Amino acid sequence: MHVVMVGTGPFGVPTFRRLLESRHAVSRLVTSPIDRDGRALPVGPLREIAAAHRVPIFDPPDINAKDARRTIASWEADLLVVCDYGQILSAETLAAARLGGVNLHASLLPKYRGAAPIQWAIYHGEKTTGVSVIHMIPQVDAGPVIAQSEVDILPDENAVQLEARLAEIGAWLMLRTIDNLEAGLLEALPQDPAAACKAPKLKKTDGRVDWRRPAEAIRNQVRAMVPWPKTFTDWLRPGKPPLRLILESVQTAERADPAAPPGTVLEVGPQGILVAAGEGAVLIRALQPAGKRVMSAEEFLRGYRLQPGDRLGSEQPAAS
């Protein structure tokens, strides 16, 4: 089958590699441009792979522009294979290939439609997730599902680790899907809109800790918000400006003082910094003070006088 790869980010790397190693003909890579309005943009990893395999690159600022659609149609491709691209393809753009487009998405659709499905699945404490291949329509992750694979989320797995695992599983699933599509063996199952939930693009504020949440939810947040925006809080130092602390490694723990307000430092020592949460406590094992490197809690405590009774959070306590 004659396919065109459409993608930019790292989630598409295993799929692109597998396509190039397969019996299918990959004639082009459509990817994001490396500059916009004179500003340099990050170079996506698929470009290097395309260059190594001498695959021509097409990088229109708007894939749905008339000229871009005309160019894609001139290739007479059977299928657009879309993964981690960043633009919604219009109906006219999808029609530029004989069979339209298929998209690899990192969730069990219709759950977690959007730009950050892996992060939000971990954040919300999901125990399972997976990958879906959909036949594309001009709506975000809403097309009929033609293949899925479910996996367990490992207890200590973070978003970077889970993304790498799902990318490899997704590459295998995509190749199998293309083979079955070519053979006419696929059944498209419409998604149930009532079961859909969103996974919007992350914002910086999504990393801020709300200590009123349960300790397990905060641990999930630390696992989810990597590599960006990370999970952070402020040490509200009496008589000094707050100090931003990025939480790198945490565990959940019991606490002996259930009356302590959330965000209260309960204990400090070689094992870590124990902080009251809405339910239970969070043991901070490694952290990064603003402007410094990542360090163990024990190392941090040698240089900073954090003490039991200090508060972490975003606001000073209300006057009693």
Quick check: is 182 in a domain? yes
Quick check: is 320 in a domain? no
Rg (CA), the chain: 23
Rounded to whole angstroms, the Cα distance separating 248 from 158 reads: 11
Answer yes or no: are the C-beta atoms of 290 and 244 closer than 8 Å. Answer: yes
14 burial level (CB within 10 Å; 0-12, 13-18, 19+)? buried
- Residue 37 confidence (pLDDT): 65
pLDDT-derived band of residue 320, with 50, 70 and 90 as boundaries? very low
With 60 as the cut, is the pLDDT of residue 285 above it? Answer: yes
Quick check: is 319 in a domain? no
Quick check: is 318 in a domain? no
Same domain, 209 and 246: yes
Same domain, 208 and 243: yes
Quick check: is 150 in a domain? yes
Mean pLDDT of 205-212: 98
Same domain, 175 and 222: no
Same domain, 124 and 160: yes
Range of the domain at 172: 2-195
Q: How many other C-beta atoms lie within 10 A of the C-beta of residue 175?
A: 19
Same domain, 240 and 145: no
Quick check: is 129 in a domain? yes
pLDDT-derived band of residue 44, with 50, 70 and 90 as boundaries? confident
Same domain, 34 and 144: yes
Same domain, 289 and 208: yes
- The number of folded domains in the chain is 2
Same domain, 124 and 31: yes
- CATH code for the domain of 39: 3.40.50.170
- CATH code for the domain of 262: 3.10.25.10
Among residues 195, 225, 256, the one where a domain terminates is 195
Chain-centre distance of CA 303, in angstroms? 34
Among residues 141, 170, 195, the one where a domain terminates is 195
pLDDT in tens, 181-192: 999 998 999 999
Q: Using alpha carbons only, give the angle 142, 143, 144 rounded to the nearest 5 degrees.
A: 125
Same domain, 188 and 209: no
Among residues 175, 195, 215, the one where a domain terminates is 195
Same domain, 102 and 150: yes
The model's pTM = 0.95
Same domain, 118 and 191: yes
pLDDT in tens, 72-106: 999 999 999 999 999 999 999 999 999 999 999 99
Of 7 and 238, which is predicted with more confidence?
7
Quick check: is 115 in a domain? yes
Same domain, 23 and 160: yes
- Residue 255 confidence (pLDDT): 86
With 60 as the cut, is the pLDDT of residue 319 above it? Answer: no
Quick check: is 183 in a domain? yes
pLDDT-derived band of residue 256, with 50, 70 and 90 as boundaries? confident
